[in-house]
A and B are shown apart, each in its own frame.
Chain A
């Protein structure tokens, strides 16, 4: 059970994350994308996943019973190799529906000057 006191609180990564050309290319190649100049639309998840996962685990969520419910991206501009981000993750909501816990976590990728991509992941913890 997720600690309800943590809903609304934002955790920002202490370390910046640099996007490499290799990381963009590796992700692109899996989906058959041949343009490596900009990252594919869902690439942000490869940056935000680790932090949102550890935030939720640290908040008491049972990761072994988690199912990904839905996902959303808002892309202000495409991610490119050379970008350096700080990731800010917020548990936006946590509710209980028929014994299943439904948690939405938002992760923002911020460069030094701008918000570049926001992601929302809704996770269902099966009862």
Chain B
């Protein structure tokens, strides 16, 4: 783990997203929207295929943020959902999260996160504030 000081960058971590994980997230979060599980339904509303819950992508980025804080002490966390994470059947899609420190003082740090999927940025303005 890097020292948390302005400019410090954290190693990217890859999270694998597949259809099974989408079902597990739906059950854990209560978000049973069929666009995240049912391919025929997703296509019927104009999507290329089943897409991951934006909140699953954000939850995984949140796990990355928790790991940086070392204590799961996340004070603020925000993100925009700019591109869907498309999850074809029988495929593990890699979501790669990385982060860097943009501010650090008085025991609080701001972390800017980058979330990439197939070299496309899927979260915009992803930022967390953590206790250090």
Task: List residues of A whose CB falls within 8 A of some B CB.
Answer: 23, 26-27, 29-33, 35, 38, 40-42, 45-46, 49-50, 64, 67-75, 78, 120
Contacts and interface: CB of A to CB of B under 8 A. Distances in A.
Given A30-B21, A70-B79, A72-B78, A40 B30 contact: no
Chain B: interface residue count, which band? 20 to 34
Contacts of B30: 46, 49-50
Contacts of A71: 54-55, 58, 78-79, 81
Nearest to B26: A30
A74 B75 contact: yes
Q: Is the interface of A mostly helix, strand, loop or mixed?
A: mixed
B29 A45 contact: yes
A70 B31 CA distance: 16
A78 B78 contact: no
Contacts of A45: 29, 31, 55
A26 B24 CA distance: 8
B62 interface: yes
A33 to B, nearest CB: 6
A75 B24 contact: no
B119 interface: no
Contacts of A38: 72
Contacts of B125: 70
B77 A26 contact: no
A29 B60 CA distance: 11
Interface string B76-94: 1111110000000000000
